[in-house]
Amino acid sequence: MRLLILGTGGMANQHAKNFSAIEGVSVVGGVDVVPERLAAFCAEHGIERQFATLEEALAWGEFDAVANVTPDRIHHPTTMQAIAAGKHVFCEKPLATDAEKAMEMTEAIEASGKVGMVNFTYRNSPAIQKGREIVLSGELGPVRHVEASYLQSWLVAKAWGDWQTESKWLWRLSKKHGSNGTLGDIGIHLVDFASYGAGLDIAHVFGRLKTFDKAPGNRIGEYDLDANDSFTLNVDFTSGAVGVIHATRMAAGHLDELLLRIFCQKGALEINYNTGVSTLRVCRGDDLDTATWREVPLEPVETNYQRFVAAVRAGEAQEPTFRRAAGIQKILDLAQLSDRTGKDEAV
């Protein structure tokens, strides 16, 4: 399989490394509007062809699939171009900045017969895959309550750099730069993580979003700091279970941590993903009476990159698909609507 990487910023390095490590996959080209960044990226990963625009790359056309690692607001127009050109697409999350665009992309890729998948990176965690397997097996009984959080601290600490001086952070705080804030950036991961891990679909959402004052006039240079910094969602699942999902970039003491607790009729499990390391603990059977939790051994799982390549070779998309991503985006859109109306919104 011949792959084109569209957008050569930070996350593109993960795409290049992971795809290049798969037997039979060649990264044959890179695309970026910043020549210096493109040249450095292609030199680092041994990529021969460089293009200033997607149009130039499509005119050349000697590739089978596109890894779309452009900024969020660019996903829709560029993915639609790639689909029209008959290419498979592996898109970074979010699929689009709103559900309407995401569904347009979904319908286009499905009509084309090509494979479209979205990089919900935490699907690569062995803990989430094993935890979901345990829940779906039924041994813990029906799910009753779900608690999920995503905690980052880069707005209150400098472990990842100084957000006030770096564009790679500032754009995430600015609506006009295409950001839907914490909800759109890490909330999309968390909603997928929680509903996928619990094996449940969300039926209703009640959302609260908060933007804090972070600079004089809430502005730094060209960036209006108006995107949400924290959110809470109260959700009902179609099964009748309830859940609380929340995230913030102001969680002092937490670099990058997802936590999912799933409480069932006959037991519970806890999935922790902390700066790349995942663990799974379960309380079940006789341990319920003593509230004893035991860690579950984990085996490596296939990555989204591997699943995408396998899907292209088989000619059929695997999860997470465009349709799944569009569904998650709808939940986020309804969370924003709920925050404005103060009402519970049905999915």
3-state SS, 151-200, equals EECCCCCCCCCCCCCCHHHHHHHCHHHCCCHHHHHHHHHHHHHHHHHHCC
Q: What pLDDT is recorded for position 188? A: 94
Q: Is the pTM of this model over 0.85?
A: yes
Express each pLDDT in 31-78 by its tens digit. 999 999 999 999 999 999 999 999 999 999 999 999 999 989 999 999
Last residue of a domain, one of 120, 154, 169: 120
Residues 140 and 275 in one domain: yes
Residues 151 and 61 in one domain: no
In a domain, residue 342? The reply is no
In a domain, residue 233? The reply is yes
Residues 98 and 136 in one domain: no
Phi–psi pair at 19, nearest 5 degrees: -70, -40
Residues 251 and 169 in one domain: yes
Residues 139 and 115 in one domain: no
Q: What pLDDT is recorded for position 140? A: 98
CA distances for 135 relative to 79, 151, 198, 235, 276, angstroms: 35, 24, 7, 19, 23
pLDDT at 329 over 90: yes
Query: What range does the domain containing 209 cover?
Result: 126-300
Residues 183 and 114 in one domain: no
Phi–psi pair at 129, nearest 5 degrees: -70, -45
Residues 114 and 130 in one domain: no
Last residue of a domain, one of 88, 120, 152: 120
Q: What pLDDT is recorded for position 245? A: 98
Domain CATH code at residue 40: 3.40.50.720
Domain CATH code at residue 189: 3.30.360.10
Specify whether the CB–CB gap between 330 and 347 falls below 8 A: yes
Residues 164 and 250 in one domain: yes
Q: Considering its fold, how many domains does the chain have in total?
A: 2
In a domain, residue 338? The reply is no
Residues 131 and 17 in one domain: no
What does the pLDDT average to over 178-201?
95
In a domain, residue 318? The reply is no
Residues 289 and 172 in one domain: yes
The band of 10, judged by pLDDT with boundaries at 50, 70 and 90, is confident
Residues 192 and 274 in one domain: yes
In a domain, residue 320? The reply is no
Residues 13 and 104 in one domain: yes
Last residue of a domain, one of 259, 274, 300: 300
In a domain, residue 315? The reply is no
pLDDT at 276 over 90: no
In a domain, residue 12? The reply is yes
Express each pLDDT in 93-145 by its tens digit. 999 999 999 999 999 999 999 999 999 999 999 999 999 999 999 999 999 99
Within the chain, where are the H helices? 12-20, 35-45, 54-60, 75-84, 99-112, 126-137, 167-170, 181-182, 188-198, 304-314, 322-341
Q: What pLDDT is recorded for position 178? A: 84
Express each pLDDT in 173-183 by its tens digit. 999 998 999 99
Express each pLDDT in 79-88 by its tens digit. 999 999 999 9
In a domain, residue 291? The reply is yes
